[in-house]
């Protein structure tokens, strides 16, 4: 059984470009893929799904694309709220939340509170997240508090490490995602662009994961 699947959702811009459309068109279509994989996790009994939606580095994109992405996030939370509640989904956003607009941050907190009772799936959206930022902020807080275990200070404290990390669009890199947490994650890379990644592609990635032999440094 797989406990936590994480996805680096990549290729929206190229998907739009192939169709002669602006990049934001790919991001909009990508929301339908988010819905599809979320529903599949509920249906297949996978308790944790996390999605890399926006990195700390992505703030360096053109202002218009950044604001459209933030708007899309806000709109999607409104549109999907009832579905999340109806499906028993607990929604969380992890990342450098201080960089979000106060309005978006407040809307996120509200939805997190409203869905806190969801007991089928925890859906984590990594927004304004980077692995090095996370380790840095954890180290600073741990030093200030005299703590011992860095995992307790990462924004993912209490979240199981991902068993599987899927990256779409053919890129084979981690792009500053879950650097600490991915220590023993399996990786599946697919050429499928994120807006085309639906249930069948997800099933195929899970089948590939099922064929892997995880040894954690030991001898089996």
Sole window of 41-49, 113-121, 138-146, 167-175 interacting with ligand IPE (rule: CB under 6 A): 167-175
Query: Whose CB is nearest to ligand IPE?
Result: 13
Closest contact distance (angstroms) between CB of 195 and ligand IPE is 9
User: Tokens 């200030």 belong to which residue?
Assistant: 144
Closest contact distance (angstroms) between CB of 166 and ligand IPE is 11
- Note whether 54 binds ligand IPE by CB under 6 A: yes
Pick from Mg ion, ligand IPE, none: which does 134 bind, CB < 5 to 8 A by kind? none
Question: Is 176 among the residues known to form the active site?
Answer: no
- Note whether 52 binds ligand IPE by CB under 6 A: yes
Q: What is the DSSP code (8-state) at residue 183? A: T
- Which runs of E-coded beta strand occur in 97-171? 121-129, 164-167
Q: Under DSSP, is residue 53 helix (H, G, I), strand (E, B) or coil?
A: strand
Phi, psi of 132, rounded to the nearest 5 degrees: -70, -40
Instruction: Please pick, from the candidates 76, 96, 137, 175, the single residue that binds ligand IPE as defined by CB under 6 A.
Output: 175
Question: Is 10 among the residues known to form the active site?
Answer: yes
CA distance 188 to 167: 6
* Binding track over 7-36 against ligand IPE, x by CB under 6 A: -xxxxxxx----------------------
Sole window of 6-14, 90-98, 155-163, 212-220 interacting with ligand IPE (rule: CB under 6 A): 6-14
What is the footprint of Mg ion within residues 3-32 (CB under 5 A)? 10
The sheet that has 164-167: what strands, in order across it?
89-94, 121-129, 48-55, 4-8, 164-167, 186-189
Categorise residue 67: left if φ over 0, alpha if ψ from -120 to 50, beta otherwise.
alpha
- Note whether 64 binds ligand IPE by CB under 6 A: no
> What HEC string does 56-117 produce?
CHHHHCCHHHHHHHHHHHHHHHHHHHHHHHHCCEEEEEECCHHHCCHHHHHHHHHHHHHCCC
Closest contact distance (angstroms) between CB of 69 and ligand IPE is 6
What is the footprint of ligand IPE within residues 126-155 (CB under 6 A)? none
Binding region for ligand IPE (CB under 6 A): 8-14, 52-55, 58, 69, 169, 171, 173, 175, 194
So which residues are the catalytic ones? 10, 58
Binding region for Mg ion (CB under 5 A): 10
């Amino acid at each position: 059984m797989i406990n936590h699947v994480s996805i680096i959702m990549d290729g929206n811009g190229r998907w739009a470009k192939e169709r002669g459309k602006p990049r934001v068109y790919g991001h909009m279509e990508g929301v339908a893929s988010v819905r599809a994989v979320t529903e599949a996790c509920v249906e297949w009994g996978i308790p944790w799904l996390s999605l890399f939606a926006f990195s700390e580095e992505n703030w360096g994109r053109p202002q218009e694309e950044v604001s459209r992405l933030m708007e899309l996030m806000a709109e999607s939370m409104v549109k999907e709220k009832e579905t999340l509640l109806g499906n028993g989904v607990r929604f969380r956003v992890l990342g450098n939340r201080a960089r979000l607009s106060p309005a978006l941050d407040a809307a996120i907190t509200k939805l997190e509170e409203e869905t806190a009772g969801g007991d089928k799936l925890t859906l984590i959206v990594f927004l304004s997240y980077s692995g090095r930022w996370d380790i840095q902020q954890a180290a600073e807080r741990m030093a200030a508090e005299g703590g011992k275990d860095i995992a307790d200070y990462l924004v993912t404290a209490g979240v199981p490490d991902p068993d599987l990390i899927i990256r779409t669009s053919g890129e084979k890199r981690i792009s500053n995602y879950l650097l600490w947490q991915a220590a023993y994650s399996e990786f599946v890379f697919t050429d499928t662009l994120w807006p085309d990644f639906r249930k069948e592609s997800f099933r195929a990635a899970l089948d590939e994961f099922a064929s892997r032999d995880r040894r954690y440094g030991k001898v089996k």
